Structure formats: C-alpha cells, structure tokens
Homo-oligomer: A and B are copies of this chain.
C-alpha cells in the first residue's frame, strides 16, 4: 500500500552555495515542494541583494518551479523597520544564531538583551515575519538547549505577537515550552527522532551522526517522538539536512551536520508506519507548517512512497548521507 503526501515541506534546510548547492538542491526539490533555506553562508545573507542573488542561484540549481525556496536573512539587531519593509516580499523568516554556536554563526547575537533586540523584533512582529532561532547557550554541550529555554520564554513573553520557531529541538525541556506560550513553535529533524548520544558516542565515535544541537538522552528523544508522531499542531518537520564534504566530516575535528535530505521522507514514512501514526505524517511534513507560516504559498506536488527497498547511495557528490549504503524499507515511487 502506498503513501501519498501532498506538498511535503522541509522547514529547516541548508543548501550551501556554489558546487555544493548544485549537488544538494536537486535532492531536496525532487521530493519536497519547498523549504526554509538557512542563511548561514560565508558571509551570511544579510542584505536584500544577497537574498535575491542567493534565491536566484538556488532556483537555477533546481531548474524548475515545483519547489519554492523560502528565503531567510541572518538576524542582526541592527535591522530597521524600514529595511525589513523593503525586504519583506523577498523573505519568509529571519534566522537568529547566538554568536559562534554552530557552523558559520560567528556574526550572531551575543547576550539576549530584550531592549537591544526590541526595535527589530517589534518590527518583525508588526510585519508578521517569523523569527527562527538556533536555541543554544554556550554552556555544557548536553545542557545548552535546556538552558536556552529561559531565553525562548523571555522572547515569547516580550513579543507575544511574534511567531518564534525553536529550530531543531532536541530536548524534553523544549517540548514542554511549546505548550506554555501561544507564539512558540518548533521544527524537529529526522535524525533527532532516531538517534541519541549513544548512537554518536556510545560505541565507536560516529562523525556522520555528529550534529548541533547534539543528540541528547533517550527520554528527550521520546518527548520529540511523541509530538512528532501525533503531529502536535505546533511542530513541523525541518530536516536541518546539512551537507559537508566527506573530508570535513571524517577529519580530526569533524564538522557538525547530518545530511538527510534525500532519505528523509522514506525514513519518516517507516517511522510513522512503525508507530501506527501514518495518518499524521501529512500534518507533520506539510499541513502544520502551512498553518504556522501562514503567508507562504506552496506549490502543488504529490509524492508517493511505496514499500519497496531503497539502497541509499554511499555518497551524493562528495557528501555521505545518513544511512549510506543501507537499505530503507520505503522508496519514492
């Protein structure tokens, strides 16, 4: 029996630029109708020109219009209301990185002084531009996200009309924050539904499963699975698929990121089937996102998954995907 998905969306995606963009963009556009594209290029996307230029390069790499790249700017507390008004039509959201917390985030926010952030965040609130946040402090690696929940709560309270999306949540603490504030939402990745720190460092060290935020404890994964599998209306799928060339993952000092774009829907189908919640997958991978991001228009695209073995390629270009060489139960028809 096949599974039909209408316009699946990936609400957190890294497409990079240049050669890597050419490799990975078609892999997302093949199975998704759109994706929120992260702005952490080198240098990050902070101007209207960069936004428009990057979007054009993505569209060129994809070569068709059945996939919409929802563009984002890299948050700066110096963005004025006038500037935001001028770019509003070119972007879908703004992504905030605490300074230095993950790949190419050096120019991010240090400290979360509400008054310093107020002009930009109030303007975003008025203009209905959602704020996506990589929510980690610079504390101990297993505590960083849980510590950041207080900052999410402070922002959600100070800007009650601002749509705040807790990106790639990995902890029970973040899941619990979801229901406390009307304006807090979350994306959840594929890999955080599947792995814990045990898979990264419990046996041999597995660089291809190393990501930020790092996979947490079994009870955290349980909390994530619960809201994803029930398609809690405030959560949506965001792969955080983050390609790095093989040498950067297997070197001493491996880069953070798991590449899941080409296998995400197949594995999600299997996971939701296993838990007898397949009827919720449509909401998790598309409908919830359309309600949360109420201004997006989504291309019509029907994706059919069938129960037929799919052998994951060892590499896509020079990027090693999650489950490289393994056989998945579901294929894209």
Contacts and interface: CB of A to CB of B under 8 A. Distances in A.
B250 A204 contact: no
A158 interface: no
B197 A255 contact: no
A110 B189 CA distance: 36
Contact of A253 (B198, B204, B217): B204
Contacts of A200: 201
A202 B196 CA distance: 15
A201 B207 contact: no
A210 interface: yes
A333 interface: no
Contact of A205 (B196, B210, B217): B210
B140 A198 contact: yes
A210 B201 contact: yes
Contacts of A252: 206-208, 249-250
A109 interface: no
A249 B252 CA distance: 9
Interface string A154-187: 0000000000000000000000000000000000
B201 A141 contact: yes
A253 B205 contact: yes
Nearest to A141: B202
Contacts of A256: 204-205
A207 B210 contact: no
Contact of A217 (B142, B198, B203, B218): B142
Interface in A126-163: 140-142
A253 B140 CA distance: 24
B214 A201 contact: yes
Nearest to A204: B253
Interface of A: 140-142, 196-198, 200-208, 210, 214, 217-218, 249-256
> Which 10 A-B residue pairs are closest in the complex by CB-CB distance?
A205-B254, A204-B253, A141-B202, A205-B210, A141-B198, A250-B252, A205-B207, A141-B197, A201-B214, A141-B201
